[in-house]
Amino acid sequence: MAPRTRLFARLMRLVEKGIEEVEDLPAHRAKRVRLQRSAVGQRIFGRVHAHATQQEITIGSGSRALVHRPTGVAGPLPCVVNFHGGGWVQGNPEQSGWLASGVAVGARAVVISPSYRLAPDAPFPAGVEDCWDALTWVVDHADELGVDPSRISLMGDSAGGNLAAVMTLLARDAGGPEIRSQVLVYPGVEMYDRWPSEDRNAEAPVLTSRNMRAYVRLYLDAQHGTEDFRASPIRAASHAGLPKAFILTAEHDPLLDNGSRYRDALVEAGVPVRYVEYEGAIHGFLSLPGVVPVARRALDDIVDFLRATA
């Protein structure tokens, strides 16, 4: 682990409560937004790429989304629909700005990052429904967005990786929209089973085992215990016929085995998968380029994958 990553981890332990200890969730979310917008936050979370534009739009039934485009590139372009992380409880499209704009420039694509309703105010499956509405809205409005509706890829990190995986399953089962590829960044694909990486990294920076379990309870609420694949995509009856996948995991992450076991499930079903475990990385590292150096290599890897598949 890089020295700056270790320092960041120590500071996080001093100043940040685990989600299981948070009593005022709206205030907790607002605090995170203030940090994102601060000068220090921009050094930690990164800035929008200098050669990308950022536009806020309203999609579907009124959800907010950020659109990142490479400057000076004519369309229609491939489109990446990107779902943000945050344990289905917090987070926003802005936290993906560094990643989304970097992908837009590197892959010469339009990256659309929608918001979705958050638990516990809107528990499962509200977030799933919102993401599906966003995906279908993007395809239906491809012309006005300047994107090619036959070249749609999905991307998401952590809870967003869960949602991206679920969207590919729903799209396959519905007979469309056609998804060219999926990028799953340290995805959570299983709600209940405890795998070795969770024990090995139970007190890891950013995400602990206790955090994981609290997020699941908040997200599923009264449906805790459901085996619905829309909650746990690894529990789908079949993973055959899904689009090519790139799964990224972090060495110091309790969710590491979620990614590696989903890789195994896809490969067993005949789905082409690229898989990389990033040494020295922590959960959330692609939202933390200022403190996790390997984030820049991971961004390059995503761009290479999308260039070849999108």
Measure the CA–CA gap between 81 and 171, rounded to whole angstroms: 13
The per-residue pLDDT for 11 is 86
Mean pLDDT of the chain: 97
pLDDT above 90 for 245: yes
Mean pLDDT for the stretch of residues 41-46? 95
The mean pLDDT of 70-99, rounded to a whole number, is 96
Q: Which residue in the list 197, 253, 257, 287 is annotated as catalytic? A: 253
pLDDT band at 17 (very low <50, low <70, confident <90, very high): confident
Active site residue 228: no
Q: What is the largest CA-CA distance in the chain?
A: 49
Say which of 49, 68, 252, 283 is annotated catalytic: 283
pTM summary value: 0.97
Name the DSSP class of 90: S
Q: Name the band, by pLDDT with cuts 50, 70 and 90, for residue 140.
A: very high
Determine what percent of the chain is predicted with pLDDT higher than 70. Answer: 100
For residue 21, how many C-alpha atoms fall within 13 Å in the half-sphere facing its CB? 7
Helices (H), 141-202: 142-145, 159-174, 196-200
pLDDT at 131 (0 to 100): 98
The pLDDT of residue 1: 87
User: What is the average pLDDT across 162-177?
Assistant: 98
In the chain, the amino acid numbered 17 is K
Residue 60 is predicted with a pLDDT of 83
3-state secondary structure of 46: coil
- At residue 150, the pLDDT reads 97
Catalytic hit among 96, 115, 158, 197: 158
Q: How far apart are CA 60 and CA 65, in angstroms?
A: 10
Nearest partner of 242 among 183, 298, 159, 304, judged by Cα: 183
Within 8 A by CB and 6+ apart from 20, the residues are 210, 211, 213, 214
Provide the pLDDT for residue 310: 85
Contact between 75 and 147 under an 8 Å Cβ cutoff? The reply is yes
- A 10 A CB-CB count for 73 gives 15
Active site (annotated) includes residue 158: yes
**Residue closest to 171 by CA, chosen among 119, 236, 265:** 236
Q: DSSP E strands: which ranges in 63-163?
A: 63-70, 77-83, 110-114, 147-157
* pLDDT-derived band at 16, boundaries 50, 70, 90: confident
In contact, 288 and 42? CB cutoff 8 Å: no
pLDDT class for 111, splitting at 50, 70, 90?
Answer: very high
